[in-house]
Structure 1
Amino acid sequence: MERFPVDAGWRALRRTVAGPDVAPVRLPLDRWPRLAPFARPVGLLVVIGLFAVTLAQQTDRRLPGIVPILFAGLTVAPLLALPRRPLLAWRLAVVALATCTFNAPAGAGWPWTPVLALGSLLVLAVVATRADRPVLAWVGLLTLVPGLALVDPDHRVSVVVLVLTVLVLGDLVRGNRRSRRALAAQTALSEREQERRAVLEERTRIARELHDVVAHHMSMIAVQAETAPYRLADVPDGARTEFAAIAGSAREALTDMRRLLGVLRSEAAGPETAPQPGLAELPAMVDAARRAGLTVTLDSPAPAAGTPAPVALAAYRIVQEGLANAARHAAGAVVRVSVRPGPRALAVRVENSAGTGPAAAQRGTGHGLTGMRERALALGGTFTAGPADGGGYVVDALLPYDGEDGTG
């Protein structure tokens, strides 16, 4: 047991003798409530049977009056209190060990009935798995007092070894339970941290992809502002100055965006030089999915010329992730992809039927839905995903053209 200062020892003694109880025992009835209507009466019958057995063992002691009944009740009382009040059960057991020696014939080495001896060991084991070490140390010492005082000297070593064994094993069980709880809490914390990091990484990746789109528009603004005075006749000097200021501001914005991209890109990530995909690349992606074994149908009219590049990029990535999820989790399913432009928003839908074959062994990072949701929300749109009514899975995204919800 741990060594602790005198003041802490006295506080632990007060807690042991008259302090609040320890955590109650979690019975199997709490895990399987259907057994409760049957197990509780059975347990009560067992206690009544032990009471009757203990009372019958006192017939040769010739105890006066109701003393046999009181002793028999004190013998089984710890078992009644044990599930909800383990420390109270131990206090009753110590009192029973010190007083209920009625069954000991002359010269007997063990002054207690088997019911009291085994019940006290059970109570001691439960308390050892529930109490902290300072309290447990006093529990062991106070339990040994009636044992060493009443047991035959030839059996005292056995009593000490038995009590210490129960205490050590119970303390090991308690420590193991605490370790499992700490590990479960740490695992839950790590999962939340991984989810948070996944969201941040996905937002960073979206920002890097959008950088090329915005940089293109800013470059066009700068070029048009610089060439406008040469394409227009009779441009006043004031207008030339404004065009030059617009071009300068656009190029400064481009410089700031490059610096921002340097912050967003990790040290291990190299520059992305490939053009960003859009709606025009959807048929090629669907054909690649068909060649990989998916049954895919695409319902997508020719992309409108005015579809903003960020919207087209988000739609492409959502369809890409939807096809990947269908291949990973619903092998053999039929996948229907719909990308329909509306007056104010682009509606994207990826729906797959229930899979007919075994799921692929390869598993993703588990954050695909997070990435799709972040892309839709970054544009001010909406995103939903969940099981379909007839089986399968449905992903719906509404991507507004102007950054406003296009449902109206």
Structure 2
Amino acid sequence: MNRHPIAVALRALRQTVLGPDAPVERPLLARWPGPARYAAPVGLLAALGLFLITLTVESEWGLPILVALLFAAMTVAPLLALPRRPLLAWRLTVLALLICTFNAPADQAWPWTPPLALGSIVVVAVVVTRVDRPVLGWVVAITTVPVLTLVEPENRVAVLLLLGALAIVGDLIRRNRLSRRALAAQTELSEREQERRGVLEERTRIARELHDVVAHHMSLIAVQAETAPYRLTDVPAPAAAEFVAIAASARDALTDMRRLLGVLRSETTGPQTAPQPDLTDLGAMVDAARRAGLSVTLDAEQVDDDRVPAPVGLAAYRIVQEGLANAARHAAGAAVRVTVRAGASGLGVRVENAPPATAGSRPGEAGSGHGLTGMRERATSLGGTFTAGPLPDGGYAVAAELPYDAEGGDR
């Protein structure tokens, strides 16, 4: 940007004469909403009173009625525009100071009527608090033109001193207002930064707790499951396969845990680029469950993976995963059936298990219940439905309907 003094002065002159008006950030009576509702009618009554006073004075001067009406209107117009258009009000004021003097009596000490003189002071006092310094300089300079040309020499000094005082005080008021606004913005920014820092500290604490407690125990489970066949004698082949499956499941859980810890410790909240599981991974998950000792049947032959959006596939995978975990936890030895069906507008997911072979509680009757809550939240977040409950034969089933338009478009 060109910062040459002449260029700055010319730009400020254009702004002063023809540029857009100075913005009014906050109405004058914004702090007092009660009196503010009466400001408009009271202002109109005051403007009407000034109009009548000006009309009376100019009629006493012997002005024609049409000229008196015009001059009275030019006296009141700047005050009406002042609350919302201060720079426009100043332009109208200068025009009125230059025009409304041609027929003033020669014996008058001042070339303007008292309402016009006092109104001009009010307009200038407001404008100098709204404009920046270059525009302020031109406002004062242009306002002195009618003063130097129309005011009597013995009164010019007093008027010029008044203009200078208004300019200095107005600039101080404006700079103080800008400083307070900048301080308020900085305070708000500091509060937001403190809130963000508090969130990051809490996320770091959670990540540390997860690492110190959960990840440590999962690592021990994986190591013990891998070394158990070597530490024990005469381990049957099915049992050895189960140990291998336990170790694999523990390491998969550790991988997911490390990804979660990375998200918690990261200061950014951008999209995750790590690959997420989908319906193509259901077979591998079911095979891992079988190696862990579950009797699982998967029925997902009619599902077209290309038709299912990624969020729907991920939600279906997680629901099946949690359903299998609940079946293994609460219905040990029971047969589990996983059914995934692709409908015309959505994907149906169902995980049901037979009655447990050994005594034990069913899902939802023991434990924290976070698994069912998580499955329900995944389904409802996509606009779908979720149901869970016991079956007549003593088993348990969870079912979800996930619409295809979860991403906002028909896939």
Q: Is this a same-fold pair by TM over 0.5?
A: yes
Name the stretch that deviates more: 82-91 or 182-191. 182-191
Secondary structure of 1:57's counterpart equals: helix
Partners of 2:59 and 2:65 within 8 A in 1: no
Tell me the alpha carbon deviations over residues 50-90 of structure 1, each in whole angstroms, 9 at most, x when there is no partner. Answer: 11111222234222352122112111111111122211110
Q: Is 49-58 or 32-41 further displaced after alignment?
A: 32-41
TM-superposition CA deviations, 1:346-402 (whole Å, max 9, x none): 269xxxxxxxxxxxxxxxxxxxxxxxxxxx9xx8998xxxxxxxxxxxxxxxxxxxx
Residues 208 and 100 of structure 1, relative CA distance in 2, 3 Å threshold: same
Flag the 1:345–1:49 CA change in 2: closer, same or farther, 3 A: farther
- Contact 1:54/1:113, CA 8 A, preserved across alignment: yes
The 5 A counterparts of 1:133-152 are 133-152=133-152
1:179: Cα distance to partner? Answer: 2.1
Counterpart for residue 64 of structure 2: 64
Give me the whole-angstrom Cα distance separating, in 1, the residues matched to 2:74 and 2:93. 8
Match of 2:116 in 1: 116
Is the CA contact (8 Å cut-off) linking 1:103 and 1:113 kept in structure 2? Answer: no
Query: Quick one: distance in 1 between partners of 2:65 and 2:98?
Result: 20
* Conserved 8 A contact 1:125-1:170: yes
Q: Does residue 226 in structure 1 map to residue 214 in structure 2?
A: no
What fraction of aligned residue pairs are identical, expressed as a percent? 52
Q: Deviation at 1:131?
A: 1.6
Q: Which amino acid aligns with 1:128?
A: V
Shift of 1:196: 2.1
1:13 equivalent in structure 2: 13
Deviations along 1:313-334, one digit per CA (max 9) or x if unpaired, are: xxxxxxxxxxxxxxxxxxxxxx
> Judging changes above 3 Å, is the alpha-carbon distance between structure 1 residues 66 and 104 closer, same or farther for their aligned structure 2 residues?
closer
Instruction: Give 1:392's aligned residue.
Output: none
Question: How far, CA to CA, are the matches of 1:154 and 1:106 in structure 2?
Answer: 16
Change in CA separation of 1:215 and 1:20 when aligned onto 2, cut-off 3 Å: same
The match for 1:89 is 89
Is 1:216 equivalent to 2:217 in the alignment? yes
For residue 141 of structure 1, report the CA deviation from its aligned partner.
Answer: 0.4
Match of 2:182 in 1: 182
Given that 2:229 and 2:235 are in contact with CA atoms closer than 8 Å, whether structure 1 keeps it comes out as no
CA distance in 1, matches of 2:125, 2:200: 49
Q: 1:7 to 1:221 in 2, by over 3 A?
A: closer
Contact 1:51 1:72 in 2 (8 A): yes
Please name the residue that 1:165 is paired with. 165
Give me the whole-angstrom Cα distance separating, in 2, the residues matched to 1:345 and 1:164: 79
**Could you tell me how far 1:187 is from its partner in structure 2?**
2.4
Q: Distance in 1 between matches of 2:74 and 2:225?
A: 98
Distance of aligned partners of 1:220 and 1:18 in 2 relative to their CA distance in 1, 3 Å threshold = closer
- TM-score, normalised to structure 1's length? 0.56
Amino acid across the alignment from 1:148: L
Partner of 2:368 in structure 1? 346
Q: Is the 8 A contact 2:17 2:91 kept in 1?
A: yes
Secondary structure of the equivalent of 2:89? helix
Contact 1:51–1:75 under 8 Å retained in 2: yes
Shift of 1:104: 5.7
Residues 381, 52 of structure 1: alpha-carbon distance in 2 compared, 3 angstrom cutoff: same
The amino acid that maps onto 1:229 is Y
Deviations 1:98-128 (A, max 9, x none): 2223786546543222211121111112211
C-alpha contact 2:93 2:120 (8 A) present in aligned 1: yes
Contact conserved, 1:128 with 1:171, CA < 8 A, in 2? yes
Give the unaligned 5+ runs of structure 2.
266-328, 331-362, 378-397, 401-411
CA distance in 2, matches of 1:50, 1:204: 68
Per the alignment, residue 281 of structure 1 pairs with none
Q: Which amino acid aligns with 2:219?
A: M
Mapping of residues 5-404 of structure 1, within 5 Å = 5-24=5-24, 26-28=26-28, 35=35, 38-101=38-101, 106=106, 108-211=108-211, 212-233=213-234, 342-343=364-365, 346=368
With over 3 angstroms needed to count, the CA separation of the structure-2 counterparts of 1:127 and 1:213, relative to structure 1, is: same
User: Deviations for 1:152-176, whole angstroms, at most 9, x for unmatched residues?
Assistant: 2222222122112112222222222
SS in structure 2 of the partner of residue 110 of structure 1: coil
- Whole-Å separation in 2 of the counterparts to 1:407 and 1:110: 91
In structure 2, C-alpha distance between the alignment counterparts of 1:84 and 1:230, rounded to whole Å:
87
Q: What is the distance in 1 between the residues matched to 2:146 and 2:53?
A: 23
| 1:205 positional shift | 0.5
State the distance in 2 between where 1:171 and 1:137 align: 10
Alpha-carbon shift at residue 233 of structure 1 (Å): 1.7
Output the TM-score relative to the length of structure 2.
0.55
Q: Which amino acid is 1:207 matched to?
A: A
Q: CA separation of 1:169/1:103 partners in 2, compared to 1, >3 Å: closer, same or farther?
A: farther
Distance 1:206 1:36, change over 3 A: closer
Q: CA deviation at 1:208?
A: 0.9
Return closer, same or farther for 1:231/1:25 CA change in 2, 3 Å cut-off.
closer
